Amino acid sequence: MSEDCIFCSIVAGDIPGRIVRETNHAVAFLDANPLAPGHTLVVPKQHYGRLNEIPGDEAADLFDAVHDLSAAVEDAVDADAVSIGINDGEAAGQEVPHTHVHLVPRFEGDGGGPFHAINPSSEQPSEDELDEIAEAVRER
């Protein structure tokens, strides 16, 4: 547990949260400022800042919960779809430094965009640049 972490405090029960699921390594609760009805956050019980800090078995448990909740949340609010995402790092918009997965129910014609609305650069990479990037990821 990290002192002063709001999500650690929710996991510990020190501050209230509308918890909807608890597994061995993960807890899910409703977002306090929802982008849509049913907006849910799934967090590891332990404090990890970034996704890649979570050990594999705990990450698997977290994503099991995401998999399960994607249908549960959609159904509970009678939504048509769900946007699922992580703001992984400050430059990506992460504000709470305890990694978390957003499940945002989506409704036909709700006016929200797809992830393709995230468009920091309008220039398309060349074929060579795409090859270089793919190689750099493979090497790691």
Q: Quick one: which of 53, 130, 127 has its CA closest to 88?
A: 53
- Smallest distance, ligand AMP to C-beta of residue 12, A: 13
Classify residue 117 by burial, with Cβ atoms within 10 Å: 0-12, 13-18, 19+.
exposed
Strand order in the sheet with 26-30: 19-22, 26-30, 40-44, 101-106, 81-85
116 is catalytic: no
Interacting stretch for ligand AMP, rule CB under 6 A, among 19-27, 28-36, 58-66, 110-118? 28-36
Considering only residues 71 to 130 of the shown chain, the ones binding ligand AMP according to CB under 6 A are 87, 93-96
Q: Quick one: which of 60, 21, 57, 56 has its CA closest to 41?
A: 21
Q: Quick one: which of 62, 84, 63 has its CA closest to 74?
A: 84
Residue 46 binds which entry of ligand AMP, Zn ion, none, CB below 5-8 Å type-dependent = none
Counting contacts by CB under 6 A, is residue 2 touching ligand AMP?
A: no
CA 63 vs. chain centroid, Å, equals: 10
Counting contacts by CB under 6 A, is residue 68 touching ligand AMP?
A: no
**Which pair of structure tokens corresponds to residue 45?**
């019980």
- Smallest distance, ligand AMP to C-beta of residue 123, A: 27
Contact in structure between 1 and 8 (CB atoms under 8 Å): yes
- Smallest distance, ligand AMP to C-beta of residue 48, A: 13
- Smallest distance, ligand AMP to C-beta of residue 134, A: 28
- The correct pick among 2, 5, 21, 31 for binding ligand AMP (CB under 6 A) is 31
Q: Which residues are catalytic?
A: 100
Query: Interface residues with Zn ion (CB under 5 A)?
Result: 2, 5, 7-8, 47, 98
